[in-house]
Amino acid sequence: MQKFFTLFSLKKRILAILLVISFIFCALVVRLFVIQIINGSSLQLRATDQWTRDLSIVAPRGSIYDRTGSTLAVSYTTYNVYVRAREVTSPSQTAYVLSQELDLDYASVYEKVTKRSVSEVLIKMQVDGETAEQIYNAKLDGVYLAETSDRYYPNGNLLSQVLGFISVDNVGQTGVEAYYNNLLKGEDGYSYVQSDLQGKEIGGSLRYYVPATAGDDLILTIDSKMQLILEQALEQIMTEQLPKSVAGLIMDADTSEILALSNKPSFDLNDVPRDDLEQLFEQSRIKIVTDIYEPGSTFKILTVAAALEEGLVSLDDTFYCPGYRVIDGERIKCWKTIGHGQQTLAEAFANSCNCCFMDLALRLGVDKFYQYMEKFGLGKKTGIDIAGEGSGILMPKSQVRTVDLARMGFGHAVAVSPIQLLSAVACIVNGGTYNQPKVLSKIMSDSEIEEVETKVREQGVISEETSQIVNYLLERAENKTGKYTFVEGYNVGGKTGTAQKYSESGGIAQGKYISSFIGTYPADGPKYIVFIMVDEPSAGAYYGSIVAAPYGKIVFSNLFEYLGEEKQDESVVVKYVTMPNLVGLSLTEAAVELKKLNLYYELDGEGEYVTEQLPPPGTSIQEGTTVILIT
């Protein structure tokens, strides 16, 4: 049947076709807009990724210096070796050269250079420059070198924990390297080359090079000479006292800047023991910052400061010690079970009499005691710029019984980190300003130096008068035979402590102690604080006066020599005596013999006769030394 089209129907068909064409055109325009304008950047990056191959250029980490300008950590250029199997023309020769130069297994390298299913494979990281040059000169097709960096520590195992170390990927793992990784790491660069669909380099194509930007340099508060003095003393303790570990610190009392900080055993930062992660973790911890412990008698500095500030005690007060106090029906012993008798505050502090400090804590009461503990920063972190700081443990105030408060007065029933305790002591001896401790002093970026200011948490924690009295007590405590006798001719103050350790079950760990010493110089206005902590000494003695204080004296003596400090009194001459044989004598007889020689003693045991003594008979010791009598 014949079909006729009218003019009207034809126009409709043309209009429909035009509309379809217009729609398609608009859709194409919209699609082009989306591709080129909206998604243009991301698609361009994807395209670039398809037709280029890149090798990262690891940014050199910033250097680390001590306060005197000595280099503590520096980066040097190394190379990562890569292979693109599709470009390798002689797999056997390539595998042989690489295995020989890089000291690798031939079969393993051959497998990698023939693995064409991947575009690129890493052969070895951090290859030294000389070896990299040998590989480059071999002109091996498909072998590429990417510039990276490694770390070198000029002092080896000095300052191991504070500096920390980096991973093979150039990322800080511990210490300053980890805490300030974002400042030290810099910004990586890249090297691009054009390639075909199979990933092979296109000969004569353009190459692109984006250089790496080095990280910032850091200047620490650490003095490497003081650090060496401290670490030598700690090594001596490890040899002579045979402890589980030992830690030490030298701090600026005015600013709380850390001048030296270490614990032993340690390791060489240029030869990190990565094959034993448990040992590495143990030796990497900065125990003065991370660990908490029951401080014992060094805590008495805080108790007496609080009581003095509240006007609850004065230098004229006296205390009677029969060897114990009965509180809430519980008998709490003084360390000297036969008692100290009648004594002044200064004598009680020097004797480290527990009874006196139980009395002071009870005079303060729970509210006032906790008020000062909070001011002294206990139970919370100091904010020191070292990772893993412990918060310490204070019993909830609502649960504190009278007997608990009494024990807290002499440093039991409370747990602190050493850095908490030392920050509080610095506040007490410097006149009452609590500063946040730190190890970073300055940041150097593009020749600009940014000072890291000391953060003052609180001023006027105690008065200047209270501070002066505490400094006097510290001076009297260590200079038992006269002024300037602890370190001959120098005005050094200090306090020792002996604390029991606790087992994982919560009970007292028998025979395990932490012995400590806190020293200040000059005693009448301290600039330096020295701290020694000996964990589980096993050479026979465990009292802080025996296993910690003598090494604090060594640190101070060497510190004065380094600083060029002149003696306050050249006329002071310390006398030495020979330790007598006291074994078999009654306690009374032994005490008489020691008094003749101007020696002090501490008791271990509750018997009537001396069965052992430290040091042994015939040892030459300084007058005023405290010896141990085991009964």
Mean pLDDT highest for which of 248-262, 448-462, 529-543, 592-606? 248-262
Q: How confident is the model at residue 116 (pLDDT cuts 50, 70, 90)?
A: confident
In the predicted structure, residue 196 carries a pLDDT above the cut 70 = no
Q: Are strands 456-458 and 448-451 parallel, antiparallel or unpaired?
A: unpaired
The tokens describing 544, both together, are: 């802080």
Q: What angle do CA 24, 27, 30 make, to 5 degrees?
A: 155
Q: How confident is the model at residue 186 (pLDDT cuts 50, 70, 90)?
A: confident
Q: Identify which has the larger pLDDT, 614 or 264.
A: 264
Q: Which region among 58-72, 520-534, 596-610 has the lowest average model confidence (pLDDT)?
A: 596-610
Question: Which of 365, 309, 319 is closest to 345 using CA atoms?
Answer: 319
Residues 475 and 469 sit within 8 Å (Cβ to Cβ): no
Q: Which residues contact 549 (CB under 8 A, 6 or more apart)?
A: 478, 494, 496, 517, 519, 532
The percent of residues above 90 in pLDDT, for the chain, comes to 50
Q: What is the 3-state secondary structure (H, E, C) of 383-451?
A: CCCCCCCCCCECCCHHHCCHHHHHHHHCCCCCEECHHHHHHHHHHHHCCCCEECCECEEEEEECCEEEE
Q: What was the pLDDT predicted at 7?
A: 59
Q: What was the pLDDT predicted at 182?
A: 94
CA distances from 221 to 226, 234, 251, 602 (A): 11, 20, 10, 38
Q: What was the pLDDT predicted at 121?
A: 87
Q: What was the pLDDT predicted at 428?
A: 97
Q: Identify which has the larger pLDDT, 400 or 5.
A: 400
The verdict on whether omega for the bond into residue 522 sits within 30 degrees of 0, i.e. cis, is: yes
Averaged pLDDT, 32-53: 66
Residue/partner pairs of 455-461 with CB below 8 Å, 24 or more apart = 455/383, 457/377, 457/383, 458/375, 458/433, 458/434, 459/432, 459/433, 459/434, 460/432, 460/433, 461/375, 461/376, 461/427, 461/428, 461/432, 461/433, 461/434
Is the CA virtual torsion 495, 500, 503, 508 positive or negative?
negative
In the predicted structure, residue 310 carries a pLDDT above the cut 80 = yes
- Buried b / exposed e over 521-554, threshold 16 CB at 10 Å, is bbbebbbbbbbbbbbbbeebbbbbbbbbbbbbbb
Q: Which region among 340-344, 481-485, 488-492 has the lowest average model confidence (pLDDT)?
A: 481-485
Residue type, 500: Q
Q: What was the pLDDT predicted at 193?
A: 61
CA distances from 426 to 170, 421, 502, 529 (A): 37, 9, 28, 7
Q: What was the pLDDT predicted at 319?
A: 94
In the predicted structure, residue 513 carries a pLDDT above the cut 80 = yes
The set of catalytic residues is: 297
Q: What was the pLDDT predicted at 55?
A: 60
Burial of 163 (0-12, 13-18, 19+ CB in 10 A): buried
In the predicted structure, residue 326 carries a pLDDT above the cut 90 = yes
Q: Virtual CA dihedral for 325, 331, 335, 338, nearest 10 degrees?
A: 70
Q: What is the mean pLDDT of the chain?
A: 88
